[in-house]
Structure 1
Amino acid sequence: MVRQLLGEPDLLRTNPYFRAAPQTRLYSIERVEAAERSDEFRAASATATRRSDAAKASAQRRRREVLARIAAEPIEVPRLTTPRLAALAVEHRNRRDEERAYERWTHVPDPATVESVDPAALARWKVNYLRHRLTRYDDLLDELFGSTGRSAAEQLLRRRVYMAISEAYPDLARECERQLREREYGPPPG
């Protein structure tokens, strides 16, 4: 709109922040104020406002569609016996720990067993296992990459997944609440 209404700049200066960037275009205040009083400016401004409003409405519609899709997505958490879930969770944790060693040369894998692990850590591993392996959590988020409303959809999906795990495994409800709180508000201070 500036070039359309004002044409060539009155002065070109070196960009004050990045010398390699294009020069800064400067216009006299009188020319700018005259252009702002013109009918052409009012028409261009009205068109830009309409275009902006339409883009916002479209983004809101896409956001609502994404959230409706996430709300409608069934989240099925399989029911496993406590010993089976514990064994799978420890196996999953050990596999992830081994993968970490490939990514970071200084990391030494520390395999755990169901019998040797602290109950709080085991609860955390169980929730992580259910969240990572037995739901379409990651697949759904990957499908939303770059979508309008992705952040809100991710939060809604995360809450629904933790709620489903809590309902299927009431003994893991406290851990689900802790993980959700930590993901949404960060770790507790201290």
Structure 2
Amino acid sequence: MMMGYEEDGQKYVSLAGLRARGWTGGIVQRLLGAPDRLAVNPRFRSAPHTRLYRAERVEAAERSQGFRAVAETAGRRSEAVRAALERRRAEVMERVRNEPIEVPRLDPGKLALRAVEHRARHCPGSAEGPGERPETEAAAVEGASRASLDRWKVEYLRHRLGGYDQLLDRLPVGGRSSGRAEAAALLRRRVYAAIAEAYPTLARECERQARDQWHGPPP
């Protein structure tokens, strides 16, 4: 979007230009009101018209006491919002770092059956009909490779621990400053580490899945 515009010797400032100068939407509405011109966007003609304000009117408003007062108020409000969001982000990160992660402890046979059942529910076609499910699960356990069973077990345990994702719900939505990606990555690492601690035989599979989630699966 254009920042400035000139026509017939008259200079204009776009709404984007005003924002770059420290204006907010509320200040524009309060001190300038309706735009002086509506211009067609030169790059995207189907886009909404660009609102333009005469530069001399903008500069006069910026020299006024009213602009300084509302700009200072808006700045304090923005700073307070940023501080509140940062406090919330820090609180959530602290919980993500320290929240105890309770992994369900099951004997190996039961864990294998639960893992196969979980796979059957989430992978259509991987099991027979409901009436044959117990035999099918037992057969699947017997016929599966160690690597497959380990993968299914970790996936099942991760599903059981999915409630910890609610820790992320208090983070601000959107934007890099929200910290959501950082918090989610830390939580994933902690969940995998907790599973590996509870089930040492699954440690290698936990490491593999964590690595794949971080870097992506191999092509």
CA distance in 1, matches of 2:118, 2:45: 49
1:165 Cα shift? 0.5
1:146 Cα deviation from its structure 2 partner: 6.2
Q: Which of 156, 165, 169 matches 2:195? A: 165
Partner of 2:165: 141
Asked if 1 retains the 8 angstrom alpha-carbon contact of 2:92 and 2:170, the reply is no
Corresponding residue for residue 132 of structure 1 = 159
* More divergent stretch after superposition (168-177 vs 33-42): 33-42
Separation in 2, partners of 1:175, 1:53: 45
Higher RCO (CA-CA < 8 Å; seq separation 6+): 1
Q: Note the alpha carbon deviations across 1:45-80, whole angstroms, 9 max, x for none.
A: 222221111111100111122223333432122333
Percent identity for Structure 1 against Structure 2: 56
Letter of the 1:27 counterpart: Y
Give the whole-Å Cα distance in 2 for the aligned partners of 1:6 and 1:129: 59
The secondary structure found in structure 2 opposite 1:7 is coil
- For 2:200, the aligned partner's letter is P
Task: Please give the TM-score of this superposition, normalised by the length of structure 1.
Answer: 0.76
Structure 2 counterpart of 1:176: 206
Aligned to 2:149: 122
Give the Cα–Cα distance (whole angstroms) in 2 for the partners of residues 122 and 20 of structure 1.
Answer: 54
2:87 to 61, 74, 78: 61
Q: Which runs of 5+ in 1 are unaligned?
A: 99-108
C-alpha distance in 1 between matches for 2:108 and 2:189? 23
Matching residue within 102, 118, 141 for 1:76: 102
- Aligned counterpart, 1:103: none
Q: Could you tell me which residue of structure 2 aligns to residue 110 of structure 1?
A: 126
Change (3 A) 1:30 1:125: same
Q: Provide the C-alpha distance between the structure 2 equivalents of 1:55 and 1:79, rounded to a whole number of angstroms.
A: 43
**What's the TM-score once normalised by structure 2's chain length?**
0.68
Q: Which has the higher strand share?
A: 2
- The answer on whether the counterparts of 1:66 and 1:150 sit within 8 Å (CA) in structure 2 is no
Would you say how many aligned residue pairs link Structure 1 and Structure 2? 175
Q: Give, in whole Å, the separation in 2 of the partners of 1:67 and 1:169.
A: 26
Please, what is the CA RMSD of the aligned residues? Answer: 2.6
Residue 18 of structure 1: how far off its partner (Å) = 7.1
Please tell me whether Structure 1 or Structure 2 has the larger radius of gyration of its CA atoms. 2
Residues 120-153 of structure 1, C-alpha deviations (whole Å, 9 max, x = no match): 22211110111112x3x2x332464463254444
* Partner Cα distance (2:50, 2:104) in 1: 61
**Preserved contact between residue 112 and residue 153 of structure 2 (Cα < 8 Å):** yes
